[in-house]
Amino acid sequence: MRNLAAVREDDLNRPKGIQRMRRLPDPKLGALWDSIILDDRLKAQLISQAMLNFTLRGKIDRSVIPLHGVILLVGPPGTGKTSLARGLAHRTAESFQGGGFRLLEVEPHALTSSAMGKTQRAVSDLFSQSIAEAAAGGPTIVLLDEVETLAADRSKMSLEANPIDIHRATDAVLVQLDALADQHPNLLFLATSNFPQAVDAAFTSRCDLVMHVPLPDREACGRILKECLSGLGKTYPAIGKLPASPHIERCAAECVGLDGRAIRKMVANALASSPQTAMNPERVTIEDLLAAARAAKASRTQGGKTP
């Protein structure tokens, strides 16, 4: 297990422009991977694509297969794309024993600026210096959350808010992706977006895999709900009995249309269904869960934010 000193060392040595840096594999990220309920075939496809990046790209000329080392996860907010990406980084590193992998997490909003030219320079420096230097030191995985911030669709941009600088920033991302793909086959980008229509088509065309992470179906809703209740059951034993209720499937059906995050928050809403239940969560009932699920869906249907 990594100690606090090791964590601080990573923080001190992280490259400029990187929000967080981790050594891989990291069991905590493995737990994130397990917590995201997604079709096993999709998870297997993600792992296989990531593994191929590190086994094939250094051996095959890009004129044969033009891999850029980019996987893009798209889908509604709350479906677990970022957690899935972090977990994928762990699982990929775990597949290569002794590989010395690292995960770099970028904060895209920290790179944007209202000053002309500064966003472009910040993006160029991030890729050509920070990320390139990390990749030169060993296998590297980079998380680009909300990638539309860095690679905005230039065809849909307004003529306001420094459009030339935003265009140039997107241009810089594309140029750097091409350069890094040529120079560093041991580099993999994991990008996420809640708004794939806002991502520039030239960026999407460079992705080796674009995967849609869907809202959970009825079966997945049931698995998320039961896992959440079972976790609560470790502290409140009475709640741990609810997954065995013959009515739990009704709750799962009511959750269809909610994302995984909303389902877990819906359970919290059920625990707050009354002052008495809030004081003693073991009082929560299936009916409380049903009512909370209906309220959450009604809020979404009426245009409210997911609870």
For residue 304, being part of any structural domain is answered with no
CB half-sphere exposure, 304, CA atoms < 13 A: 11
- Across 280-289, average pLDDT: 98
Q: How many domains does the chain have?
A: 2
Residues 277 and 169 in one domain: no
* pLDDT tens by residue, 87-96: 999 999 999 9
Q: How far apart are CA 35 and CA 87, in angstroms?
A: 9
> What does the pLDDT look like over 157-202, one tens digit per residue?
655 555 566 778 889 999 999 999 999 999 999 999 999 999 999 9
pLDDT at 283 over 80: yes
Name the domain boundary from 156, 190, 212: 212
In this structure, are 104 and 245 located in the same domain? no
Cβ within 8 Å of residue 207, ≥6 positions away? 68, 70, 71, 72, 191
What percentage of the chain exceeds 70 in pLDDT?
87
- Domain shared by 245 and 202, yes or no: no
Residue 2 pLDDT > 60: no
Report the alpha-carbon distance of residue 236 to residue 121 in Å, rounded.
Answer: 53
Task: Report how far residue 279's alpha carbon sits from residue 135's, in angstroms, rounded to the nearest whole number.
Answer: 51
Query: What domain range is 144 assigned to?
Result: 4-212
Are residues 224 and 108 located together in one domain of the fold?
Answer: no
Domain final residue, candidates 156, 181, 212: 212
The whole-number average pLDDT for the span 98-118 is: 76
Q: Does residue 303 form part of some domain?
A: no
Based on the domain organization, do 230 and 82 belong to the same domain?
Answer: no
Q: Mark whether 108 and 249 lie in a shared domain.
A: no
pLDDT at 218: 96
Specify whether 224 is located in the same domain as 86. Answer: no
141 with 162, same domain: the answer is: yes
What distance in Å separates the CA atoms of residue 263 and residue 224, rounded to the nearest whole number?
7
* 75-91 pLDDT, tens digit each: 999 999 999 999 999 99
The CATH number that applies at residue 62 is 3.40.50.300
Position 306 in a domain: no
28-57 mean pLDDT: 96
Is residue 75 included in any domain, yes or no?
yes
* Statement to judge: residues 165 and 39 lie in one domain: yes
Mark whether 157 and 89 lie in a shared domain: yes
Higher pLDDT, 99 or 62: 62
Looking at 149, 182, 212, which one is the last position of a domain?
Answer: 212
DSSP states along 166-195: HHHHHHHHHHHHHHHHHH-TTEEEEEEES-
Are residues 202 and 273 located together in one domain of the fold? no
Q: Do 250 and 122 have their domain in common?
A: no
CA distance 85 to 83: 5
Q: What is the pLDDT of residues 130-165, one digit of tens each?
A: 999 999 999 999 999 999 988 988 887 655 555 566
pLDDT exceeds 50 at position 125: yes
What pTM value is reported for the model? Answer: 0.88
Weakest mean pLDDT among 50-54, 66-70, 129-133, 298-302: 298-302
Does the residue 153 lie in any domain? yes
305 within a domain of the structure (yes/no): no
Convert the pLDDT of each residue in 202-233 to its tens digit.
Answer: 999 999 999 999 999 999 999 999 999 999 99
Query: Would residue 171 count as lying in a domain?
Result: yes
Residue linked to tokens 């809640």: 194
